[in-house]
Structure 1
Amino acid sequence: MGEKRCQYWLPKKNRLCSNAPLHPSLFCGNHTTRSHVKWIPCPIDPSHQVLEENMDGHVKKCPMLKQTQALSLEPYYQKGINSGTHDSALVDEPDVTSSEMKRNLVYALTLHQFSSLLSKIRAIHTSSCKDMAFSYKVPEACDVWMKRQIDRKLPYQEKHVLQQASILGNLEDLGVLSYSAQALAKQKCSDSLLDSNNNGISAVVEFGAGRGYLTQILADCYGITKVFLVERKSYKLKADRSLRQIQDLTLERLRIDIEDLNLNAVQSLRGIPYLAVGKHLCGPATDLTLRCCLGENYDQNSGTEHIRQNLKGIAVATCCHHLCQWKHYTNRSYLMKLGITKDDFHAITWFTSWAVDADHGSTLSDDGFLQSPAPPDGNVESLLGAECVEDIVRNMKPLDRAALGFMCKDIIDMGRMLWVKECGLESKLVKYVPSDISPENRLIVAKAE
């Protein structure tokens, strides 16, 4: 009997695992050590791994198989349409530069190169990002949420509602949204009258929607009547049920990676004025979203109106800059004009993770000044006696690391905002909530002119 069992001992149960072992291993799939067998990413869904010997059977019954097959038949699915392009000269460029690769790149710098990079970051931030405004807006239209006067039983976390309200407040401040729409909604006015008093906007596309509560506030407070939620994952406790209870509101959830979404092929969105929003779009998801809304990657021979013509406004709260990739970044030309190379970009994105190193209550303001151990003249050795960049990084004060991280975030987001402006929209980059609410507090907000 013992030979047919996995030989992994369960100390809490004082017995062997009762699962059958995987031949020729003595252990089951749960307890087989990865050193004894080869695990490879599933070709259907690389987020999980499978034993190489089981791959043929797994691909026929992978839980993601039916969803992937169904998605491939959707007209709006176009693999990699918003992904950006590699450098033409670098044929073997990897799709993703990992955090480990970025760290190794930084540690491989000489002391002088590291000092020069910090000086460059400081100079660019001083010249390009010094006028970034603090714009914490909580509009009157969101009172129904701020005072928790919600008819439906919805999750309420004040820090998230404050962020969502300020995103909408900045759109209202820019003239994209109108409070009069909320008043008309309370009076149950007709849809046509509602639209005319909300700058013609009747639809919202929320990218990286998650549970969809940013859109929930939009629908409750501004009378949005057509909702598209773009999210590649499945979530519990979604706002979908409460959204569908709103009279005359239609909801469509697009379970797709933003990288593969051809927004122009979403039939039900054509010809409808819409608003594009996203809260905490991690890393390259911000770039993919901006390119999805403003890029020119669509079928020139389709004879249909490009969806960009109906875009009325954008509000994207950025997040997780350490995940950003050179391939996806929307404004590489801007960085290169500033003397930032691809390797510099990877280093800058790695530095951004330091923005959350320090206490964001009272110790570090959003305008924290970088007082780096690496002076502009490159004379690092005389200051620290350091032998390598790793020594400098290890000895940097948390406040200095955090300030450097914030500077790098600002530079990345400023390039994105300027790209949106180059696309013809009135745009700005603001800090939309205090750091003690969220250190990820940069917002790109834009209005179609």
Structure 2
Amino acid sequence: MSSHCKFWLPKKKRFCANSPLSDSPFCGNHSQRPDAHWIPCPIDPSHSVLEGNLPSHLNRCPLKKQAQSLSRQPYYQRGINAGKEDMGEGEAGEETTATPKDSNFTSEMKRALVHAMPVSKFIGLIAKIKSAHASICTIIRDSYMVPQSCSIWTDREVDKKLPYKEKHVLQQASILGNLEEFGVLKEYCFTSDETNEKCHSNTESERDTDVSAVVEFGAGRGYLTQMLVDCYGISKVLLVERRSYKFKADRSLRQKERLIVERLRIDIEDLNLNDVESLQGLGYVAIGKHLCGPATDVTLRCCIHKQSYEWTASHPPRGAICYLRGLAIATCCHHLCQWKNYINKAYISDLGFTEEEFHAISWFTSWAVDADHGSEFVVTESSTGHEIIMSETMNEWQLDSASCEVSDIVRSMQPIHRAALGFMCKDIIDAGRLMWLKAQGLQSELVKYVPIDISPENRLLIAR
């Protein structure tokens, strides 16, 4: 019998190297068993386990100790930033009752909901989207900038061992450039070894009074923070990410003098930022590049709970609370947005949309990024292009409404028509977040921070 498993691994272009079972050509991971016997692990649903093996697996699941350790941390408070299903929100949108994490409305459920609509209702929904977008499209301006502060990255003068992809560098530079223009970050001087020390000594005290720390939400490998530290001389960073990544920027960051780096492996939904010891009493800037779907909403709650939570006798503050100086979040993956997490349900309701229609709107957003973004897609980035394309398309639907279903309409739509609708829906969702920030008393703006050919996910929320 062969000494290796016979399961072919396409990505590695070889067979599995594990030893096979005694009665099978495959190892235990790849042996052919009925799917019905496999169930998601209750500790970490990203992997499955045989139902009969579940009791023993729960005692040795790799994430069990991590979950237990996390639950003992002072900053862990399950669902504190989750929001809730109903509309019972306070004066500034503050929500105090957490919702279960497993109540997500999946993309498959959203698609089924849209396809089940009568054609007349579908056309009516598109008309409401078009009307709502016309009222808010003027607030989104182009703001693509690559500041001089980031020249060491844009000119490729950084460590050659650091990963470099131009489209990511340009996005990161524009995020930081918008923060600088908005008055949150100050340009850091890097001209020569002689002048650098002088610039550092002259600006250190002023910079510290403005920004004492930076928190990157959904940090991933942390290369947005890497550029921020390289170009703006920040002295303390906190990286928040629920997943584990290889090839992180942490190793390079920890080699820098006068820089304190801390990484928290936690879901933003469960993070009580005021109880992070290293941030207590400090002003900080919150950043995030492509915070997927509801991660943007829970991040906003995490940072702006009227600058503090409604403390109870069972959970008093452990020290001086931290306070937000500025914020820059590049939104992403709006099709994953959830009603229970969304930060401004009142805004959606005021526009005349129901919870069901919000799910449909979030599903439409995937159409903005599901095709090649060539020259014709530039049209969809202008409000005039939106209006013309959607008016022509709706006239066609009205003629066919008696002889087709919604699924037929969706299949027959041209990519540019789908993209136009998708961008309109993305703008509506992000505009609600902008209105919520303004309701908290923050100076805020929603901009297109890179051209669509660099990334169709090009909306940036900035605030101070």
TM-score (ref. length: structure 2) = 0.86
Pick the aligned partner of 1:132 from 123, 129, 140.
140
Provide the residue aligned with 1:82 in structure 2. Answer: 81
Q: 1:289 aligns to what SS in structure 2?
A: helix
1:135-214 pair list within 5 angstroms: 135-151=143-159, 153-180=161-188, 186-187=196-197, 193-197=203-207, 200-214=210-224
For 2:302 and 2:354, locate their aligned partners in 1 and report how far apart those are by CA, in whole Å: 25
For 1:426 and 1:144, locate their aligned partners in 2 and report how far apart those are by CA, in whole Å: 30
Q: Give CA deviations for 1:280-314 in whole Å, capped at 9, x if unaligned.
A: 00111111111100125453452556645x21000
Equivalent residue letter for 1:19:
P
How big is the shift at 1:27?
Answer: 7.4
Provide the residue aligned with 2:56 in structure 1. Answer: 57
How big is the shift at 1:143?
Answer: 0.5
TM-score (ref. length: structure 1) = 0.89
Provide the residue aligned with 2:44 in structure 1. Answer: 45
Give % identity: 56
Q: Give CA deviations for 1:396-427 in whole Å, capped at 9, x if unaligned.
A: 11000011101100100110111111111100
Provide the residue aligned with 2:452 in structure 1. Answer: 435
How big is the shift at 1:260?
Answer: 0.7
Provide the residue aligned with 2:430 in structure 1. Answer: 413
For 1:206 and 1:195, locate their aligned partners in 2 and report how far apart those are by CA, in whole Å: 23
Provide the residue aligned with 1:346 in structure 2. Answer: 359
Pick the aligned partner of 1:102 from 107, 110, 114.
110
Q: Please say if 1:244 is aligned against 2:254.
A: yes
CA contact (8 A) 1:106 1:347 kept: yes
Equivalent residue letter for 1:394:
R
Q: 1:227 aligns to what SS in structure 2?
A: strand
Equivalent residue letter for 1:440:
E
For 1:392 and 1:399, locate their aligned partners in 2 and report how far apart those are by CA, in whole Å: 14
Provide the residue aligned with 1:20 in structure 2. Answer: 21
Q: Give CA deviations for 1:318-372 in whole Å, capped at 9, x if unaligned.
A: 0111111000000001000111111001000110010013432311112242524
Q: Please say if 1:446 is aligned against 2:463.
A: yes
Q: 2:377 aligns to what SS in structure 1?
A: coil
How big is the shift at 1:30?
Answer: 3.1
How big is the shift at 1:277?
Answer: 0.2
CA contact (8 A) 1:381 1:387 kept: no
Equivalent residue letter for 1:116:
G
For 1:26 and 1:211, locate their aligned partners in 2 and report how far apart those are by CA, in whole Å: 38
Q: Give CA deviations for 1:19-74 in whole Å, capped at 9, x if unaligned.
A: 2279xx99764345564542221111111111111100111111111211111111
1:206-355 pair list within 5 angstroms: 206-295=216-305, 296-297=308-309, 299-301=311-313, 302-303=316-317, 307=321, 310-355=323-368
Mark the runs of 5 or more structure 1 residues left unpaired by the alignment.
none
CA contact (8 A) 1:118 1:374 kept: no
The alpha-carbon distance between structure 1 residues 349 and 88, as it changes in their structure 2 partners (threshold 3 A), is closer
The alpha-carbon distance between structure 1 residues 405 and 63, as it changes in their structure 2 partners (threshold 3 A), is same
Provide the residue aligned with 2:72 in structure 1. Answer: 73
CA contact (8 A) 1:373 1:396 kept: no
The alpha-carbon distance between structure 1 residues 185 and 204, as it changes in their structure 2 partners (threshold 3 A), is farther
Q: Please say if 1:388 is aligned against 2:409.
A: no
CA contact (8 A) 1:82 1:260 kept: yes
Mark the runs of 5 or more structure 2 residues left unpaired by the alignment.
89-98
The alpha-carbon distance between structure 1 residues 225 and 191, as it changes in their structure 2 partners (threshold 3 A), is farther
For 2:7 and 2:177, locate their aligned partners in 1 and report how far apart those are by CA, in whole Å: 57
How big is the shift at 1:272?
Answer: 1.3
Equivalent residue letter for 2:71:
S
The aligned length equals: 438
The alpha-carbon distance between structure 1 residues 217 and 298, as it changes in their structure 2 partners (threshold 3 A), is farther
